[in-house]
């Protein structure tokens, strides 16, 4: 088949087919007499894959890698691309919301220039917060031994005391129907998400660590895993009936936590539920008291471990939920482990 016919079959142009040929992604045979390209059905299949991948924004280089290596799982690239697009989309939404606020300024506002400057500074700060998180703990490296490690107790400080109780309580508190969607953020190896799978619930597990997601997939193939992070969840608005998270939120600093709650609220439906089991203190005074007690006991191991992470101030998270019209309940397992359960919307 000649190039024009191939282009027609694929709903593209001869020019773009030549472009992919120049890039070395396809190499149709050429007729020795007239030098015309002859496209086979196989060439067409390859071309239609190229066109589909370009349409969703995958780079020429990555397409080359996918095509050159039949072992490569194309879905892995699709997943990466989806995450990148969600990040862009969320950034665009922030920008559009800022424009809306700028446009809402009254015409006679004497401080217009200052006010839009403030809004743009806020936008800049949000962009930077969403991008700045780094994995200081190397969760990729922890993935293989994670399930074993949570069973081992530190010598003088056991963060995993009540781990199973807490996960059971989250699974028992969030009530969903078969076929509902539950998002588990920072899913790790799937210990919380799998408790929902057993009840016929569709579980989407998000994690920033690819190795954790791989481990989760090996253990629970029915969990849909997506790479992503607390501050740019790879889900559409109002997509999930439930959002849960265990032992993950304390890896992001306090100023990012409220943005993380905002993200959870974005993806959960009205009347949907958010449930977080994590390391936190009741409030700033409680933190001081617990740290003081550890120091008095000479337990530096505990004080250092707490310093290395961002245990939340529970009262701050609860205030946020109350201000955003959630109904909130809390539970305390021990000095440092708490659960917050919040239902979206007024009763």
Ligand X SMILES: C[S@@+](CC[C@H](N)C(=O)[O-])C[C@H]1O[C@@H](n2cnc3c(N)ncnc32)[C@H](O)[C@@H]1O
Q: Which residues bind ligand X (CB under 6 A)?
A: 133, 139, 186-188, 191-192, 207-209, 212, 229-230, 246-248, 251-252
Whichever of 283 and 309 has its CB closer to ligand X, that residue is: 309
Write down the least CB distance from residue 188 to ligand X, Å. Answer: 2
Residue count of the chain, please give it.
Answer: 347
Q: How many CB atoms lie within 10 A of CB 36?
A: 12
Whichever of 6 and 213 has its CB closer to ligand X, that residue is: 213
Which of 121-154 are b and which e, b meaning 16 or more Cβ less than 10 Å from the residue's Cβ?
eebeebeebbeebeeeeebeebbeebeeebeeee
Q: Taken in order 130, 136, 140, 143, is the CA torsion positive or negative?
A: negative
Whichever of 193 and 272 has its CB closer to ligand X, that residue is: 193
Whichever of 39 and 247 has its CB closer to ligand X, that residue is: 247
Residue among 170, 310, 198 at smallest CA distance from 254: 310
Whichever of 28 and 205 has its CB closer to ligand X, that residue is: 205
Write down the least CB distance from residue 227 to ligand X, Å. Answer: 9
- Supply 51's token pair: 């066109």
Write down the least CB distance from residue 180 to ligand X, Å. Answer: 19
- In DSSP notation, 279-290 reads EEESSHHHHHHH
Write down the least CB distance from residue 266 to ligand X, Å. Answer: 15
Asked if 169 contacts 339 with a C-beta cutoff of 8 angstroms, the reply is: yes
Write down the least CB distance from residue 244 to ligand X, Å. Answer: 9
């Amino acid at each position: 088949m000649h190039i024009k016919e191939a282009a027609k079959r694929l709903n593209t142009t001869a020019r773009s087919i030549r472009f992919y040929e120049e890039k070395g992604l396809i190499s149709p045979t050429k007729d020795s007499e007239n030098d015309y390209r002859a496209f086979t059905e196989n060439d067409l299949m390859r071309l239609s894959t190229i066109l589909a991948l370009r349409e969703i924004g995958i780079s020429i280089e990555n397409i080359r890698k996918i095509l050159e290596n039949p072992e490569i799982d194309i879905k892995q690239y699709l997943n990466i691309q989806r995450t990148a697009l969600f990040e862009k989309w969320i950034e665009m939404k922030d920008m559009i919301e800022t424009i809306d606020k700028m446009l809402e300024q009254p015409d006679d506002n004497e401080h217009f220039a200052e006010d839009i400057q403030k809004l743009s500074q806020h936008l800049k700060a949000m962009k930077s917060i969403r991008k700045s998180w780094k994995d200081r703990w190397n969760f990729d490296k922890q993935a293989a031994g994670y399930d074993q490690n949570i069973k081992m107790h530190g010598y003088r400080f056991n963060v995993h005391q009540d781990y199973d109780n807490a996960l059971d309580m989250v699974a028992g508190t969030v009530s969903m129907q078969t076929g509902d969607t539950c998002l588990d953020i920072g899913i790790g190896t799937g210990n919380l998400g799998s408790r929902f799978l057993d009840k016929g619930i569709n579980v989407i597990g998000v994690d920033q660590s690819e190795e954790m997601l791989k481990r989760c997939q090996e253990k629970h193939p029915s969990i849909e895993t997506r790479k992503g992070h607390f501050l740019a969840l790879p889900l559409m608005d109002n997509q999930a009936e439930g959002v849960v998270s265990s032992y993950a939120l304390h890896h992001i600093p306090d100023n990012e936590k409220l943005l993380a709650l905002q993200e959870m609220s974005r993806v959960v439906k009205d009347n949907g539920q958010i449930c977080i089991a994590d390391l936190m203190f009741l409030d700033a005074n409680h933190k001081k008291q617990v740290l003081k007690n550890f120091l008095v006991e000479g337990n530096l191991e505990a004080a250092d471990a707490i310093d290395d992470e961002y245990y939340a101030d529970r009262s701050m998270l609860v205030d946020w939920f109350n201000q955003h019209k959630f109904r909130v309940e809390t539970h305390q397992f021990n000095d440092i482990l708490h659960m917050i359960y919040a239902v979206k919307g007024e009763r």
